[in-house]
Amino acid sequence: MKLVTCLLVLSLFSLVAEAQEPATLKDVNVDNLEDVTDDFQEYFFEALKQKGIQNYERALVALDKCISLRPQEAILYFEKGKNEAMLGNIIEAENNYLKALQLKPNQRDIMVSLYDVYYARQDFEKAIDLVTQLVQFDIRYKEDLARIYLRKGSFEKTISLIDELDEKLGKDAYRNQIRQQALALSGGDIQEKELLKQITANPANEQNYLNLIYVYSEQGKTQQAYETAQRLIKVNPKTEIVHMALYKYYLESGDIKQAVSSLEKVIKSAKIEPKAKHSILNDFLIFVDRNPEYEAELEQAVALFAKEEDTNVNEELGAYYIKNKETDKALSSYKNAYKKNPSDLGVLRNLLMLQLQAEQFENATKLSEEALTLYPSQALFYLVYGVAQNRLGAPKSAKDYLEMGLDYIADDPKMTADFYSELLRAYELLGDAKKIEKYRTLINNLN
């Protein structure tokens, strides 16, 4: 529509310019103007004035008076059409544009305005017929024709027109956008044909194979995706990116050995971004979560990834082990995650909880103190310190930290209960009967 829009603006300006001088009114006999068209001139300029101040109803009244004097002037019906369109009277606008074209056939600015009406009300058949005629003025109207075919769902016709324009006018971002929309909306069939055509034309272009593999995968055509990957390997035996697709194929086919082999090639590749490697490794982690017999392969892949990339996957691996209640492995993973990023709040939380579970109370004491220097308002770190100190037989230190931590508890009844329980334990160890009674009462009130 961009060409049509520009022409609409230009035609509007040109019509105003034409109307400013009676001598330039189309098909008006200048010699006879003074004798018989004084009223016509007055009504016509009144119509333009009223349209200029957006008083379209009065403009129409003035134009009707003009028509009563000169019923064969195409410009009068054209102006009526524009005023009707501004009022939202689409049918009336169409009828006036058609009358104008009847009086002045093949008039570009009138045809553009009529096309705008057809497109606005999505009367695509009439719009197609009109734009096909407009192509005689400028081949770029085929862009509008392509856009109509896109709206109609005629994706092959859309792409065919874009190809024709690209060949004649060169590549263009606007047309490429239309092409991409057509490909995206086609459901993959046209994309498949386009990519096969591109592969035939340029068999060395790796990206075309990868795009086709993606299209096949989206369509559930697993075997075709695999065959395309093998075809790429024949063209380029050193290809690495294709193993992202092969990994998925082998995994879904149950060939775990080959899947792991492709996974390792992906991880080792210098051409594949760390984010993509991370994504595929996470996919394998999800698979192993459902198939724990492949945990050794997962650990091998994680170790390789940690070696190849400066990216921390230990936290995800630790979460996997926590879910599977493998405390020792989870603890080891979170220790590695902590070494990579010692200030990460999530890592600190999980590592401290794992240290308590593993009864590593001295480590938990030390780490919770470090954590509090970074996050002094995190109630959990005060609680961990208190628990660890109670277990180490240091109730005074435990109760000091626990009482400080009470100030940072948000609206969390469970954490509040945990604090009260540890404070009760500390005062029991200290033998403070009054405090023991206080915290027993507080715990009972929570329950």
SS (H, E, C) 289-348: HHCHHHHHHHHHHHHHHHHHCCCCCHHHHHHHHHHCCCHHHHHHHHHHHHHHCCCCHHHH
pLDDT in the model for residue 308? 66
How many domains in the chain? 3
pLDDT of 40 > 60? The answer is yes
Same domain, yes or no, for 15 and 115?
Answer: yes
Same domain, yes or no, for 279 and 398?
Answer: no
Where is the domain boundary, 89, 116, 138?
Answer: 138
The arithmetic mean of pLDDT across residues 317-340, rounded, is 87
Q: Is the dihedral of CA 158, 164, 165, 170 positive or negative?
A: positive
User: Is 398 among the domain residues?
Assistant: yes
Measuring CA to CA, which residue among 323, 325, 319, 383 is closest to residue 351?
A: 319
pLDDT of 114 > 90? The answer is yes
Which contiguous run of DSSP H or E holds residue 394? Answer: none
pLDDT category at 24 given cuts 50, 70, 90 is: very low
Same domain, yes or no, for 30 and 132?
Answer: yes
pLDDT in the model for residue 19? 36
Same domain, yes or no, for 275 and 379?
Answer: no
Chain segment 196-209, per-residue pLDDT in tens: 888 998 898 888 88
Indicate the range of 273-277, 280-284, 336-340, 376-380 predicted with least confidence.
273-277
Contact 191, 210 (CB under 8 A): no
Provide, rounded to the nearest whole percent, the portion of the chain with pLDDT above 90.
49
Contact 249, 226 (CB under 8 A): yes
Indicate the range of 4-18, 267-281, 385-399 predicted with least confidence.
4-18
pLDDT category at 274 given cuts 50, 70, 90 is: confident
pLDDT of 440 > 90? The answer is yes
Where is the domain boundary, 138, 163, 185?
Answer: 138
b or e along 237-276 (b: 16 or more beta carbons within 10 Å of the residue's beta carbon)? eebbbbbbbbbbbbbeeeebebbbebbbbbbebeebeeee
Tell me which of 3 and 210 has the higher pLDDT: 210
pLDDT of 431 > 90? The answer is yes
User: Is 91 among the domain residues?
Assistant: yes
pLDDT in the model for residue 310? 55
User: Is 305 among the domain residues?
Assistant: no
Same domain, yes or no, for 126 and 209?
Answer: no
The arithmetic mean of pLDDT across residues 166-180, rounded, is 84
pLDDT of 34 > 90? The answer is no
User: Is 328 among the domain residues?
Assistant: no
Contact 312, 341 (CB under 8 A): yes
User: Is 53 among the domain residues?
Assistant: yes
The Cα–Cα gap between 309 and 47 comes to 73
Indicate the range of 28-37, 44-53, 345-354, 364-373 predicted with least confidence.
28-37
Which three-class secondary structure state does DSSP give residue 36? helix
Same domain, yes or no, for 209 and 284?
Answer: yes
pLDDT category at 86 given cuts 50, 70, 90 is: very high
pLDDT category at 98 given cuts 50, 70, 90 is: very high
User: Is 371 among the domain residues?
Assistant: yes
Where is the domain boundary, 138, 166, 184?
Answer: 138
Mean of the per-residue pLDDT values of the chain: 85
Say which amino acid occupies 1.
M
pLDDT of 35 > 60? The answer is no
Rounded to the nearest 5°, which phi and psi values hold at 113?
-65, -40
pLDDT in the model for residue 213? 85
Mutual angle of helices 222-235 and 206-218, in 10-degree steps: 170
pLDDT of 282 > 90? The answer is no
Contact 315, 309 (CB under 8 A): no
User: Is 198 among the domain residues?
Assistant: no
Note down the domain range covering 385. Answer: 362-447
Angle ∠(383,386,389) on CA atoms, nearest 5? 150
The Cα–Cα gap between 366 and 85 comes to 77
Same domain, yes or no, for 111 and 22?
Answer: yes
User: Is 172 among the domain residues?
Assistant: no
Length of the chain: 447
pLDDT category at 21 given cuts 50, 70, 90 is: very low
Same domain, yes or no, for 218 and 106?
Answer: no
Contact 113, 18 (CB under 8 A): no
**At 256, which CATH number?**
1.25.40.10
The arithmetic mean of pLDDT across residues 9-25, rounded, is 34
The Cα–Cα gap between 238 and 343 comes to 41
